[in-house]
């Protein structure tokens, strides 16, 4: 729980520290936060690997079952280490990447907010708390993507990501509420334990699809992937953090966490695996056509996320019929997904940093203007080579291991005897292999088009040179992990992935064969090896002859894209809302009151008619005396007379008659405290009216058409009738004892003899305090406007 809150506390301190230290040094303070959290989490690795879990709860809204409960297990450990570990390297990289002229204080506040929000997502056991942090990631990522808000593309990319991910988040919230309706709990652990008895319920399938909608929008799965390329307008450290290791992995985490809930269902299996498989293909296909290095990495990220998502879908088949020797085979897909999740964060984080270095030192990311940079930037080239070859699935890099596991998983999918996979299973390895070929092509483009070939100094904005050593440290560390994991994969497999597998497959915990022994060489009879060789041969050929077949991308016009559809929907929505706003925003208060009262008539009056609650009984009421009749008729006369008043003074006096008549009613009903309060309030209000109206223009009677007056009269009569009937119905149908009996003991409970004062100052003290605060804020706003107006008038006088 402290791990979640520390980044938020640090974010609060950053602005104060930023004012007192040189701007570049603020990054070193922020660097301590993820580094400390990473070391804390790393200290728990042995215990978690041994099967320990850690739960901590702070009661929040007990009556609704909403508590701040954090849960550390193997699955949350993987994501926690990625969030803090990659976060440490990204902040180190940003210290040298961002200029001192940038608003570094604001940048690091946003980054820490995002880090805390992501930690909140992965450690939260309560669905409502998880949702709060989920939307906080959308808000903080919006701020990070729009960091360079003076750029139109940055604002557009931030808005696009916000609209798509928040919409998915709202759908996910609806799914969470349905799960609570089914199980009676917001706890993820409780839902996993009890969901088996609810799988046949009608809400189960809908809850599943809504949760997946939230996951797909966050993890940029087709067709919601369109926000990710536009989010590349963010500074490179943001892209390296959000779009390789954290935000886009939130949806992956959600699918992994809910696999024990929905896994084994045919709809979950096909939706997750097929959407992931098509996203893998579509992302790799579109990556090849990109001419901007960052856009290429964006589509490659989409593709790799699809690969991981597809593996989780295939792995869910193991839960269809419970544990058996055969079902354990399909858990290997989930193992490959978790392993590739780590590998992807290492090589993709390094590649994003490399692209940032190229842009920073050369002044462009356009592949058409690059080439021959290897001799100028040898270290950067080496890191790019390691990252790209790992992404392509070549040895001796970690991507080779997880890519072969992926091939093995899709080949095993052909043998599934459930969900009609005997018919459709062959498509999985075919599409996966084609996507892998395209992945090989764009990986080669990154290396050879950027660092080899002909140098074009005339087309570059800067003289190319190697980046400062400080900027190279972070990607170099990630590149070392890429190589190191290849040679020591079982360290990751046994200590990091194994406990995560136990979290994804609670029924299989401790089962033999759940966690395979990872080896790089399986012999020549290993089919995934031949698929990899085929990828290299065909992918190499396609890269060499790229200029001959690249025209295939010109077959479909750009106007047929999902981006065009999104932009069209956005434009039409804005036009429709503008038309609607112009229609009802007339500028006249009377029209707004007509809208409000008409809605009130249909909503309240209609509900009373449909439910029959308009009935009331007056037989048990006390008789009305002549004095009360007189007061009522006086109030009615004053209220009607206000309508025909010809001056403000007359209207104010008549309004005062209404207020003082109510005070007399309180006296008649033996409520002197209320009468005194009413007299004071009415006196002050009348005085304020007189002061304010003195500075307003003369009262002018409105001239309205006869039919308008008739409509207004009907609305007024209807509202008055409904309110009267509603009051009588409430008074005649009391379901509970009046709360006023409680307040009669005000002197004993609060030590006050005036009940009204006691209610305001004791029983409703916080409410009264907040009302005072609101008035205070409004007063500050009015004072500010007056001062600004006075300053503007002084400036106008000086200009004259």
Q: What are the tens digits of pLDDT across the range 665-688?
A: 888 888 887 888 889 988 998 888
Return the pLDDT at 457.
85
Per the DSSP assignment, residues forming a β-bridge with 57 are 69
Distance from C-alpha of 534 to C-alpha of 528, rounded to nearest angstrom: 10
Q: Is 621 left (phi over 0), alpha (psi -120 to 50) or beta?
A: beta
Cα torsion angle, 227, 229, 230, 234, sign:
positive
Return the pLDDT at 420.
65
For residues 225 and 159, is the Cβ–Cβ distance under 8 A?
A: no
Q: If we measure between CA atoms, which residue out of 272, 251, 253 comes closest to residue 263?
A: 272
Distance from C-alpha of 217 to C-alpha of 167, rounded to nearest angstrom: 8
Q: If we measure between CA atoms, which residue out of 336, 345, 335 comes closest to residue 504?
A: 335
- Longest CA span, the chain: 107
Burial class of residue 120, CB neighbours in 10 A (0-12, 13-18, 19+): buried
Angle, helices 327-362 vs 398-413, to 10°: value is: 140
Return the pLDDT at 700.
72
Distance from C-alpha of 778 to C-alpha of 774, rounded to nearest angstrom: 6
Burial class of residue 64, CB neighbours in 10 A (0-12, 13-18, 19+): exposed
Beta-carbon contacts of 257 under 8 Å, excluding residues fewer than 6 positions away, are 75, 188, 503
Burial class of residue 102, CB neighbours in 10 A (0-12, 13-18, 19+): middle
Name residues of the chain where pLDDT drops below 70. 1, 321-327, 419-420, 422-423, 510-511, 732-735, 796-800
Q: How far is CA 401 from the centre of its chain?
A: 33
Return the pLDDT at 342.
96
Q: If we measure between CA atoms, which residue out of 65, 49, 238 comes closest to residue 142?
A: 238
Return the pLDDT at 799.
65
SS3 620: coil
For the full predicted model, state whether its pTM sits above 0.95: no
Locate 387 and state its tokens.
């990252």
Q: Residue 488 has what DSSP assignment?
A: S
Beta-carbon contacts of 707 under 8 Å, excluding residues fewer than 6 positions away, are none
Distance from C-alpha of 216 to C-alpha of 275, rounded to nearest angstrom: 9
Return the pLDDT at 543.
95
Return the pLDDT at 321.
62
Pairing label, strands 66-72, 54-61: antiparallel
Return the pLDDT at 230.
94
Distances in Å between the Cα of 49 and the Cα atoms of 27, 45, 128, 245, 592 are: 33, 6, 28, 22, 63
Return the pLDDT at 326.
63
Distance from C-alpha of 729 to C-alpha of 740, rounded to nearest angstrom: 19
Phi, psi of 70 (to 5 degrees): -110, 150
Return the pLDDT at 422.
65
Angle CA(489)–CA(494)–CA(500) in degrees, nearest 5? 110
Distance from C-alpha of 642 to C-alpha of 648, rounded to nearest angstrom: 9
Return the pLDDT at 668.
87
Chain position carrying tokens 């009267």:
724
Return the pLDDT at 267.
93
């Amino acid at each position: 729980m402290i791990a979640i809150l520390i980044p938020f506390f640090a974010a609060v301190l950053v602005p104060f520290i930023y004012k007192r230290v040189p701007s570049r040094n603020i990054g070193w303070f922020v660097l301590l936060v993820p580094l400390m959290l990473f070391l804390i989490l790393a200290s728990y690795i042995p215990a978690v690997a041994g099967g320990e879990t850690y739960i901590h709860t702070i009661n929040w809204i007990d009556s609704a079952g909403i508590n701040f409960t954090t849960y550390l297990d193997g699955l949350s450990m993987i994501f926690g280490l990625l969030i803090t570990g990659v976060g440490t390297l990204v902040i180190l990289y940003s210290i040298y990447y961002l200029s001192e002229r940038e608003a570094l204080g604001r940048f690091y506040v946003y980054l820490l907010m995002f880090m805390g929000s992501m930690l909140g997502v992965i450690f939260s056991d309560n669905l409502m708390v998880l949702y709060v942090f989920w939307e906080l990631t959308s808000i903080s990522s919006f701020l990070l993507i729009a960091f360079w808000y003076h750029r139109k593309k940055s604002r557009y990319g931030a808005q696009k990501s916000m609209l798509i991910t928040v919409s998915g988040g709202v759908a996910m919230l609806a799914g969470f509420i349905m799960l609570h309706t089914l199980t009676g709990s917001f706890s993820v652990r409780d839902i996993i334990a009890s969901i088996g008895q609810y799988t046949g319920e009608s809400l189960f399938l809908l809850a599943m699809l809504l949760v997946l909608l939230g996951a797909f929008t966050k993890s940029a799965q087709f067709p919601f992937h369109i926000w990710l390329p536009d989010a590349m307008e963010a500074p490179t450290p943001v892209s390296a953090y959000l779009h390789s290791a954290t935000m886009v992995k939130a949806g992956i985490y959600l699918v992994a966490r809910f696999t024990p809930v929905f896994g084994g269902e045919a709809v979950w299996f096909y939706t997750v695996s097929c959407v992931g498989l098509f996203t893998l293909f579509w992302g790799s296909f579109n990556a090849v056509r990109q001419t901007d290095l960052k856009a290429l990495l964006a589509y490659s990220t989409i593709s790799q996320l699809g690969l991981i998502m597809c593996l989780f879908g295939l792995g869910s088949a193991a839960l269809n019929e419970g544990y058996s020797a055969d079902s354990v085979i399909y858990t290997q897909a989930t193992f490959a997904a978790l392993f590739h999740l780590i590998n992807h964060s290492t090589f993709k984080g390094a590649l994003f940093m490399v692209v940032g270095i190229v842009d920073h030192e050369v002044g462009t990311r356009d592949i058409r203007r690059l080439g021959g940079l290897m001799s100028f930037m040898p270290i950067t080239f080496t890191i790019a080579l390691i990252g790209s070859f790992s992404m392509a699935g070549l040895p001796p890099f970690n991507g080779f291991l997880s890519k072969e596991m992926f091939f093995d998983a899709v080949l095993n999918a052909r043998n599934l005897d459930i969900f009609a996979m005997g018919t459709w299973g062959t498509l999985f390895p075919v599409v996966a292999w084609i996507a892998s070929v395209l992945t090989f092509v764009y990986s080669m483009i990154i290396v050879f088009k950027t660092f080899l070939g002909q140098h074009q100094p005339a087309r570059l904005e800067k003289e190319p040179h190697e980046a400062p050593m400080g900027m190279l440290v972070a990607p170099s560390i990630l590149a070392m992990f890429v190589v190191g994991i290849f040679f020591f994969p079982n360290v990751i497999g046994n200590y990091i992935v194994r406990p995560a597998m136990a979290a994804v497959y609670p029924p299989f915990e401790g089962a033999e064969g759940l966690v395979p022994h990872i080896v790089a060489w399986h012999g020549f009879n290993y089919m995934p090896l031949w698929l990899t060789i085929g990828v290299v041969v065909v992918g190499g050929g396609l890269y060499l002859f790229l200029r001959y077949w690249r025209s295939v991308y010109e077959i479909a016009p750009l106007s047929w894209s999902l981006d065009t559809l999104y932009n069209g929907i956005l434009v039409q929505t804005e036009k429709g809302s503008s038309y609607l706003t112009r229609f009802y925003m007339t500028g006249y208060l009377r029209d707004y009151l007509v809208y409000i009262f008409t809605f009130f008539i249909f909503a309240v009056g209609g509900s009373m008619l449909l439910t029959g609650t308009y009935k009331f009984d007056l037989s048990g009421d006390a008789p009305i005396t002549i004095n009360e009749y007189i007061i009522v008729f006086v109030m009615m006369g004053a209220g009607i007379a206000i309508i025909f008043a010809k001056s403000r003074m007359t209207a104010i006096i008549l309004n005062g008659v209404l207020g003082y008549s109510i005070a007399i009613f309180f006296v008649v009903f033996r409520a002197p405290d209320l009468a005194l309060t009413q007299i004071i309030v009415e006196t002050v209000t009348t005085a304020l009216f007189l002061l304010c109206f003195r500075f307003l223009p003369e009262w002018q009677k409105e001239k309205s058409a006869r039919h308008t007056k008739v409509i207004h009269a009907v609305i007024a009569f209807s509202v008055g009738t409904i309110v009267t009937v509603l009051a009588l119905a409430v008074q005649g149908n009391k379901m509970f004892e009046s709360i006023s009996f409680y307040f009669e003991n005000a002197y004993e409970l609060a030590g006050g003899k005036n009940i009204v004062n006691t209610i305001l100052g004791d029983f409703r003290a916080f409410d009264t305090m907040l009302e005072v605060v609101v008035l205070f804020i409004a007063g500050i706003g009015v004072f500010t406007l007056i001062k600004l107006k006075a300053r503007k008038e002084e400036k106008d006088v000086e200009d004259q």
